[in-house]
Structure 1
């Protein structure tokens, strides 16, 4: 057998790989845009600004946050997904990617195919909260009140396919009316005023309101208590099973982004998220720094997408 053609092919592949890697050795050599698919001041925007500042220092280039809100994150996400796959346009994605894909027809992008996961940045539990003047002092009390007042019970939601919002009523035998909002910031005034019975947003949206007494936290998702709300039980501790899923945030690039760029960004995020000042800044926002490199984050993201699709099928959600 003549091995010369094989050796030549292997040598050519090695040379090509080396050339491809060296072509991106100087990345980034200009500012990087970090697209936030929501308006300034929200949870996704807040973590993005903390990460962008420190990531820029690590990369020795500016990382500029660019807010492109609208359509529950879809406008900015499509923009990022359609950008050139060169590492200079990134996306701060979050939990919304899963339920949008599972519940929305004719999306102009596919989160499973058009985005390259780079690294997870943070996570936070979902928190069951009620107004401070609610008669419910715990989960059992809230469930009892809703069963006694089925025509008055309601909750605010941002996405129709959010698993926690759907599983909580199912697992407690209650039937509160779902009221949809364009964002958590739009729903909170109605909750604070008592026009909604409860909400289950991420901790980053409500921890300050709980700590200053304007809202009462009754339970958190996850397998352990959240350190910022250490006296609040998990749903399992409160007697409601199957509510372990938490909210998360992560960095993405357009599909097709060169792997040397993906690896450089992933490695940088692991360092950035371990910085004490970053951990402290996120903690103040009610977010836990929880980095995952590309392989682990890709597996995690795939599981999230499947989980949301499963919930959509389980509840026969109408795709809109």
Structure 2
């Protein structure tokens, strides 16, 4: 006797689902804003511009870059986290999301709850580099020099709690002095001049300097060698364990963005990142095209958040 109400309810559900799907059939029907939480000309911005051009062509709508820099990415990220979840305001996020959440207190957004991972775009390892003028040619030589010269060893860092920067001294039994900078571009001149012993920035920041002979790469993070530096060993190969974190970039939408919009963006990004011209353009920037669709990227992102949180607890890094 209850079959008729059930059938009516099911029919209504089917009609509602169809209407919801058809409402997004024409998405996007206006330009999409891709917020870059850093200034123009930096690594995140350069990668975003490569992706935006081809993504716009594929979606048949403009993807407009909007730079909202400041507070180590937090200003632009908060803007997207608070934006309408309609698929028309998205973020080019990166490794900083995990780092900031783990080390900064009282952030105005929660990177785990306020953002919807859409798709990963690229990745690059961190690279241990020293000035090319130094007599140090490998990791063992660097470690030996730092142990022999503990009062002279130093490294440049952007943010006090970068896990790679903290784990490398711990895992090698060294105690270099950390020198903080507002950005990699501010630190590199001191490294080139020999005022710093080493740095461990992302490959996209230093590959051109390594290839031009101004810096010497001693090792890369990750579980495999980097294609732009095939002769440079991984940290593991160089005898330094547990340094497999890599830098990455990916697109995020505000939490609550409808899944049809998320899927359409993700599918388009997968196609764009497979294009030879995009792969080549990113390669020139020292970045490997490494797309991940929404589900895989979400799992990857959640693991990244956990890893950064674990390191922050290990070193007592939460900043008030």
CA contact (8 A) 1:161 1:308 kept: no
Alpha-carbon distance in structure 2 between the residues aligned to 1:170 and 1:315: 10
Residue 81 (structure 1) aligns with = 81
Residue 317 (structure 1) aligns with = 317
Q: Secondary structure at the match of 2:64?
A: strand
Alpha-carbon distance in structure 1 between the residues aligned to 2:232 and 2:72: 29
Alpha-carbon distance in structure 2 between the residues aligned to 1:155 and 1:70: 24
Q: Confirm whether residue 213 of structure 1 aligns to residue 250 of structure 2.
A: no
Alpha-carbon distance in structure 2 between the residues aligned to 1:159 and 1:255: 27
CA RMSD for the aligned pairs?
1.0
Residue 260 (structure 2) aligns with = 260
CA contact (8 A) 1:51 1:278 kept: yes
TM superposition shift of 1:312:
0.3
Q: Post-superposition, which runs of at least 4 consecutive aligned residues in structure 1 deviate over 3 A? A: none
Alpha-carbon distance in structure 1 between the residues aligned to 2:169 and 2:9: 61
TM superposition shift of 1:153:
1.1
TM superposition shift of 1:317:
1.3
TM superposition shift of 1:21:
1.2
Range that drifts further, 103-112 or 11-20: 11-20
Alpha-carbon distance in structure 2 between the residues aligned to 1:310 and 1:223: 20
TM superposition shift of 1:248:
0.4
Note the alpha carbon deviations across 1:118-172, whole angstroms, 9 max, x for none.
Answer: 0000000110001111221110111111111111111111122221111100000
CA contact (8 A) 2:222 2:234 kept: yes
CA contact (8 A) 2:94 2:248 kept: yes
CA contact (8 A) 1:130 1:199 kept: yes
CA contact (8 A) 2:99 2:162 kept: yes
* Alignment of structure 1 residues 1-320 onto 2, 5 Å: 2-320=2-320
Alpha-carbon distance in structure 1 between the residues aligned to 2:130 and 2:41: 23
Task: Name structure 1 gaps, 5 residues minimum.
Answer: none
Describe the shift of the 1:194–1:118 C-alpha distance in structure 2 as closer, same or farther (beyond 3 A): same
Alpha-carbon distance in structure 2 between the residues aligned to 1:283 and 1:38: 21
CA contact (8 A) 2:102 2:318 kept: no
TM superposition shift of 1:4:
2.4
Range that drifts further, 102-111 or 37-46: 37-46
TM-score norm. by structure 1 comes to: 0.98
Alpha-carbon distance in structure 2 between the residues aligned to 1:311 and 1:11: 51
Task: Name structure 2 gaps, 5 residues minimum.
Answer: none
Alpha-carbon distance in structure 2 between the residues aligned to 1:94 and 1:68: 14
CA contact (8 A) 2:81 2:115 kept: yes
Alpha-carbon distance in structure 1 between the residues aligned to 2:139 and 2:7: 68
How many corresponding residue pairs?
A: 320
Note the alpha carbon deviations across 1:269-300, whole angstroms, 9 max, x for none.
Answer: 00000000000000111100000000000000
